[in-house]
Amino acid sequence: MKTKDIYVCSGCGAQAIKWQGQCPRCGEWNTLQQKVVVRKKGAVSHTYAGVRTTALADIPTEHTEARSTGFAPLDTVLGKGFVPGGAVLVGGEPGIGKSTLLLQLACAQAQMGNRAVYFSGEESLAQIRGRAERLGLLDSGMLAIASTNSEEALAILEAPEKPDLLIIDSVQTLNSSRAEGIPGCVSQVRAVSSELVEAAKKTTATLVLVGHVTKDGQIAGPKLLEHMVDTVLYLEGDRKHMMRIMRVLKNRFGPSDELVVFSMRESGMEIVEDPSTLFLGDRDDSFSGAAVVMAMDGHKPFAVEVQALASRSVLSIPRRTALGFDTNRLNLILAVLEKRLNLNLGQLDIYAKIGGGLAMRDPGLDLGVAAAVLSSFYDRPLPAGSVFWGEVDLNGRIRPASGGETRLKQADRLGYGPIFQSESCRTLDELQNKLFGPNG
């Protein structure tokens, strides 16, 4: 046992490590009184200007089990499911399927015996009922409320019978009396989200906030909103296609580079268990300008089609357009092709896209983009069954892409061949010779 002298304010209870005439917290004079504290051996604590700190090893461990979402792949993405006291932010473009997916999750929780509340500030109760009836989820026992008052959402979290899951759709529609401005402004979003997250942390409920996105695809509101929550999910995809991808942008309880692929059906969002060839569609190997790339998004390998079109330009400055990946990356690859292979691309309009409405940032797409551009430039199709992946550097060399073994195993499983990567062709010259011969 060890003893230590501290000074405690008789007015506010603040602590200090030495005597001073004025309390550092309440400002009263001559209120600090000496007190002897017995401290166990091994415990570490300090007091700084009346604020006491505690060693992490002395803090008791909290054992909380996550609740399943009802979708096994989504449980893996979140870590283990819905964590009690956790806050999740879901973003996505209007009409992408956020409300449909969250309504399914709430109904799945209710069917598992958990108490789920769907708090909507955008739809009426009749509209929510109609959507649940259309999805066949009307008998799930889920609770719903239509309001734009954040105090009502706080009252639900502070009620004696707290919900296991509270969904706020959306945080930009709620209004707090503790902040100025109209709903959706920065001050209101900050106040509403901070109040709800703080209240959820004190309970075993999981809070799910829905956030709108801006024109450039960022979640609307202050960036502080993403920092306050534990998990940030983003639902993306082309509304003209049935496929949806949910990405994890931040996760304190699990991986932050995973994704789940959904298919939008009449009965709601369905998880695609094996999306490896889902985005290829009905492709024809006899057309030029199309290359199959074994791409990686997170830890999942996808066989996607990269399409390119090189046509004569009538403009003084030819067009360069890329859909699904960065346009600057397309310009870089074209510059390398023109320099290292002595191709005249300066008089051509070149367009490139990823099929299926996908948007990817995988550096392994470089080799597939180069192969598709060469195929369209020479107007000759690529070998049937061929697959590409690899990163192209400024010297025209092909570098290995991350996850090479995973890509190779997936390509072998799907029966692709020949395979073009950094080991089979080390430079763009070798790639051109193998595909079209020395003279193209």
User: Could you tell me which residues are annotated as the binding site for ATP?
Assistant: 92-99
DSSP state string for 284-308: -TTSSSEEEEEEEETTEEEEEEEEE
Nearest to 147 by CA among 166, 128, 108, 174: 174
Cα 38 off chain centre by: 49
CB atoms within 10 A of CB 99: 23
Q: How many angstroms separate the CA atoms of 279 and 413, rounded?
A: 17
Beta-carbon contacts of 397 under 8 Å, excluding residues fewer than 6 positions away, are 426, 427, 428
Beta-carbon contacts of 352 under 8 Å, excluding residues fewer than 6 positions away, are 306, 307, 308, 309, 321, 322, 323, 325, 330, 369, 372, 373
Annotated binding site: 92-99
* Token pair in block for residue 302: 């996808």
Answer yes or no: are the C-beta atoms of 11 and 23 closer than 8 Å: yes
Answer yes or no: are the C-beta atoms of 220 and 214 closer than 8 Å: yes
Which residue, chain included where needed, has tokens 């070149």? 350
CB atoms within 10 A of CB 49: 11
Nearest to 144 by CA among 172, 186, 107: 107
Beta-carbon contacts of 11 under 8 Å, excluding residues fewer than 6 positions away, are 23, 26, 28, 31
What distances in angstroms separate CA 220 from CA 83, 215, 380, 429, one per listed residue?
Answer: 25, 9, 46, 46
**Strand intervals (E) in 256-347:** 259-265, 268-271, 290-297, 300-312, 320-323
Q: Dihedrals φ, ψ of 405, to 5°?
A: -65, -40
Q: How many angstroms separate the CA atoms of 100 and 192, rounded?
A: 23
Q: How many angstroms separate the CA atoms of 315 and 301, rounded?
A: 39
Q: How many angstroms separate the CA atoms of 350 and 319, rounded?
A: 6
